[in-house]
Structure 1
């Protein structure tokens, strides 16, 4: 924090002067779509509750990085609801990203963050240099609730902001520090005993509501967007009546469902926390005095170990949001979706290949276990997997038969490895977002559904979970991604289409692609599904790919 006197004049945002060190004005037009409709210039210094922030200009965008939106969740504030900050009037340099939460890494898509700490509750803003009342996009990263950082080149908001929106990316607590739960953690202000990560995200949204005008954003026009775990958290926030007013619409990328027994019940999560505390020689309350890194490492070790026989949930996810009746009201896919909330849902064509068949072209090695090579091996794999979901293993032959029949009907290969990829990806990911789109469409709401179909570069194959992310941010050509995704004109056009679909949706809920092709609202008969990248960089509309195979999950998951 910089509290030293400065000769640069601090200009109130209400004066709309964009003051540089020399006092000269820089007025640049907006690019692409956007709100506001004027050429109002914005101050380089933004006055917020987090301080008077000094940003950095890059072309037509000002960025502000590492902005604290809540107090450091350490010591007495560990395993507590986030507490607001108030640095009003304090000069703060906002040109460097804040620390990421202590975490494990998902290296195929996420660059390992070098700066990790418990003091991680910060956000970043990219804003056009001109314009007022602009649409706002708040991004919640994914990472299996264990990894992710907004400092990664993947999530740079520069190119989206160039298209006329204010972009906010959020760091929040991950892993054990964001998800352990116990009655002894009860927050004195909120009563919360769980779900610290989603409460962090809500605190960031509340900060946006209070401060985004200083960056030219409209606090009443906020699109909440997230991928994977971040998409699931976005839905949880929108479904909660006390938080619903913070969100104008949702743009969801590959939301999963990790409800019990896949994830923990609240009671079993408390047992898990007690075991961790015992391993560290303390009690749940005593964890406030233990190193955060020690807690992280102890939980990682326990995540791979057997639990007491009394624990019957958490069979696949031991770190995830928990239904607590306050912050996470109920299993999101079985909870009514707000009828007046426009939503976009997107999935990758072979979501499961991220987990089952992933080759890293940069590291030049596989990052997933070998695929089942025989039908006998597939049967054993599926039976064990269904058991982890609380589904009887004897259902495995029926699941495999349904997927084989769907593959043959579509003209796809029915080899065991491909069937396993489809079964896994649908069961944890694609099945749920399609159900959400169907639910919204059946209720007469506004939903758009897309399948991303452009394959990653060989020798890797498929369109795995996370494959669209570098295109959504226009960062596909960054060093960490170019050998995985490509940098040809096809990829450049795909990226433009992805970005435009988000920024136009954020402007007024009517999404379109970069060639001005409108994205029609999804219909309950599965028509009007967008197919992005099905041929080169093209976008077409029609029936949902691989819809028939999803029906097998209806009785198994209780729908």
Structure 2
């Protein structure tokens, strides 16, 4: 994802024109960049910075002890309190991950010491709705500090926005075998327990930032949506949130424990660490641990990974913090009272197909071959259904549409169905606005709705395009998200009436420059791809 300006972790665009515009806006209680009042959190005093439009940000707040040394792979531990004022002016470290991602700020720092969160608010007093954002990137990459996720627009519209960093990949999801003892019994879900710990911090502290701890909405996209799915089935998270939004990231299940333990055992063998030797595990170099991931995955390649994501280091069922898949075979009981928005984008698969050089010249025969490989029993009906659903799409584009629906849309429908049966309302959406950038190749692709939801489209103009279309999309999506976070219902004057989803009409909001509601969109594809 390309941004209009190079961006630093401090949150200021490095552009003289942009800084001049921002500097012209003076905060009500302090100049741009001036320190805020001190907030005495349960852990200790902190102070943030004033941003444009009278918004206060508190960045890089620790919510748990650094998960390093003896705490590597263990559940998050309580943070030691402090007495000196902590300056919360810069984003904290992101999790260890591969460098060079397109939307990664140039000075983003990565470390095992990554349990930080950020808060944006308009006032420190009051009881505003709280939204807690869990970033995408599967379970292997991403960070809360990316410019698409900045929370100033939400804060300006009356929400207290919290975004969270947590452990990823091998550091967050290595399930060690039983021989490692009780301290590591839930090591395969440590990164998700980080998310729970962040929500505990919100419950304990958010009132000091003007937020209502009894009105918390959790939301995320892609891997972040999968995190929301899992939190809906994790007993330690019960009562820490009240509403949920899953964007392009439905997760019905989780990695089975036998596979996860075998993978963890393969990793420690590669690292030369004997079972139960916690001191030796703590002493292994961080980069060596990270670099050993693929070799460990290769060692257990023939084992059943349960069909969750792509195997490897992802959250696994521990029998306690995650007793089973959150929506397999049905929705977990603890999700019953939680209203939900869930949806996908029309062309989810395009982002993942940019490197497939065969697609532009794919023939009808090539399309048929791909469909039969993916859906051998339904291919005869699915091929004409794809053509009817996406008129004007080339064979390559149809193949991408099938893959995107398989990866994201089908499970989103299944999750919505299982959630609806519990009684709490569910609202389904699809985002259809196609990007004009990159030669139109992304269409309404994966993650293209994010800056509309956050109102941060000016931060990534090279990606979303010029003109007022992004603002029009944002007025519709962000106001619906805010209405939902405020009241539990996404009705907004900016969109048509949005009925809850049910198993008969299946009414779905189609977000576009002119949004509309459709009953059971792509019904034939739904029936064929679910069967």
TM-score (norm 2): 0.85
Q: Give the Cα–Cα distance (whole angstroms) in 1 for the partners of residues 282 and 357 of structure 2.
A: 37
Equivalent position of 1:18 in the other structure: none
**CA, structure 1 residues 189+540, in 2 after alignment: closer, same or farther (shift >3 Å)?**
same
Equivalent position of 1:35 in the other structure: none
CA deviations 1:505-549 (Å, max 9, x no partner) are 11111213462654332232244311101xxx2211122432321
Q: Give the Cα–Cα distance (whole angstroms) in 1 for the partners of residues 108 and 294 of structure 2.
A: 19
Equivalent position of 1:361 in the other structure: none
Q: Give the Cα–Cα distance (whole angstroms) in 1 for the partners of residues 356 and 99 of structure 2.
A: 14
Q: Give the Cα–Cα distance (whole angstroms) in 1 for the partners of residues 493 and 473 of structure 2.
A: 9
User: Following superposition of structure 1 onto structure 2, how do residues 190-269 of structure 1 map, counting pairs within 5 Å?
Assistant: 191-257=185-251, 259=253, 264-269=255-260
Q: Which residue among 385, 398, 416 is the counterpart of 2:377?
A: 398
Equivalent position of 1:476 in the other structure: 457
Match of 1:352, SS? helix
Match of 1:332, SS? coil
Contact 2:345–2:445 (Cα < 8 Å) also in 1: yes
Q: Which residue among 330, 336, 339 is the counterpart of 2:331?
A: 336
> Gaps (5+ residues) in structure 1?
1-24, 29-41, 359-366, 387-395
Match of 1:44, SS? coil
User: Following superposition of structure 1 onto structure 2, how do residues 260-299 of structure 1 map, counting pairs within 5 Å?
Assistant: 264-283=255-274, 285=277, 286-299=280-293
Stretch of structure 1 that moved more, 132-141 or 189-198? 189-198
Equivalent position of 1:549 in the other structure: 525
**CA, structure 1 residues 162+187, in 2 after alignment: closer, same or farther (shift >3 Å)?**
farther
CA deviations 1:51-104 (Å, max 9, x no partner) are 211111122211000000001101110010000113253310001000000012
Q: Which residue among 86, 96, 113 is the counterpart of 1:102?
A: 96
1:179 pairs with 2:155: no
Equivalent position of 1:538 in the other structure: 514
Match of 1:138, SS? strand
Stretch of structure 1 that moved more, 234-243 or 307-316? 307-316
Equivalent position of 1:464 in the other structure: 445
Equivalent position of 2:348 in the other structure: 351
- Give, in angstroms, the shift of residue 274 of structure 1: 2.3
Contact 1:142–1:228 (Cα < 8 Å) also in 2: yes
Contact 2:331–2:419 (Cα < 8 Å) also in 1: no
- Give, in angstroms, the shift of residue 475 of structure 1: 1.4
1:138 pairs with 2:132: yes
Match of 2:235, SS? coil
Equivalent position of 1:53 in the other structure: 46
Equivalent position of 2:145 in the other structure: 151
**CA, structure 1 residues 398+252, in 2 after alignment: closer, same or farther (shift >3 Å)?**
same
Equivalent position of 2:468 in the other structure: 489
**CA, structure 1 residues 456+240, in 2 after alignment: closer, same or farther (shift >3 Å)?**
same
Equivalent position of 2:62 in the other structure: 68
Equivalent position of 2:487 in the other structure: 508
Q: CA RMSD in A?
A: 2.7
Match of 2:213, SS? strand
1:373 pairs with 2:362: yes
Stretch of structure 1 that moved more, 314-323 or 131-140? 314-323
- Give, in angstroms, the shift of residue 225 of structure 1: 0.6
Q: Which residue among 92, 110, 115 is the counterpart of 1:116?
A: 110
Equivalent position of 1:17 in the other structure: none
Match of 2:137, SS? coil
Match of 2:376, SS? helix
**CA, structure 1 residues 497+92, in 2 after alignment: closer, same or farther (shift >3 Å)?**
same
Contact 1:181–1:270 (Cα < 8 Å) also in 2: yes
- Give, in angstroms, the shift of residue 46 of structure 1: 1.1
User: Following superposition of structure 1 onto structure 2, how do residues 150-169 of structure 1 map, counting pairs within 5 Å?
Assistant: 150-169=144-163
Equivalent position of 1:390 in the other structure: none
- Give, in angstroms, the shift of residue 497 of structure 1: 1.7
Contact 1:109–1:466 (Cα < 8 Å) also in 2: no
Contact 1:187–1:193 (Cα < 8 Å) also in 2: no
Q: Give the Cα–Cα distance (whole angstroms) in 1 for the partners of residues 301 and 510 of structure 2.
A: 46
- Give, in angstroms, the shift of residue 325 of structure 1: 1.8
Q: Which residue among 74, 80, 90 is the counterpart of 2:84?
A: 90
> Gaps (5+ residues) in structure 2?
1-26
Q: Give the Cα–Cα distance (whole angstroms) in 1 for the partners of residues 350 and 274 of structure 2.
A: 40
Equivalent position of 1:437 in the other structure: 416
Equivalent position of 2:477 in the other structure: 498
Q: Give the Cα–Cα distance (whole angstroms) in 2 for the partners of residues 210 and 169 of structure 1.
A: 16
Contact 2:124–2:209 (Cα < 8 Å) also in 1: no
**CA, structure 1 residues 85+510, in 2 after alignment: closer, same or farther (shift >3 Å)?**
same
Equivalent position of 1:523 in the other structure: 502
Q: Give the Cα–Cα distance (whole angstroms) in 2 for the partners of residues 455 and 185 of structure 1.
A: 52
Contact 2:124–2:208 (Cα < 8 Å) also in 1: no
Q: Give the Cα–Cα distance (whole angstroms) in 2 for the partners of residues 431 and 399 of structure 1.
A: 15
TM-score (norm 1): 0.81
CA deviations 1:406-453 (Å, max 9, x no partner) are 234336246432232122222221111112222333444211111000
**Number of aligned residues:** 490
Match of 2:196, SS? helix
Match of 1:450, SS? strand
Contact 1:68–1:121 (Cα < 8 Å) also in 2: yes
- Give, in angstroms, the shift of residue 131 of structure 1: 4.8
Q: Give the Cα–Cα distance (whole angstroms) in 2 for the partners of residues 546 and 306 of structure 1.
A: 41
**CA, structure 1 residues 27+117, in 2 after alignment: closer, same or farther (shift >3 Å)?**
closer
Q: Give the Cα–Cα distance (whole angstroms) in 1 for the partners of residues 469 and 430 of structure 2.
A: 17
Q: Give the Cα–Cα distance (whole angstroms) in 1 for the partners of residues 44 and 294 of structure 2.
A: 37
Match of 1:220, SS? strand
**CA, structure 1 residues 211+190, in 2 after alignment: closer, same or farther (shift >3 Å)?**
farther
CA deviations 1:262-318 (Å, max 9, x no partner) are x74211222222222222222354432212221111114544x46364566578331
Equivalent position of 1:9 in the other structure: none
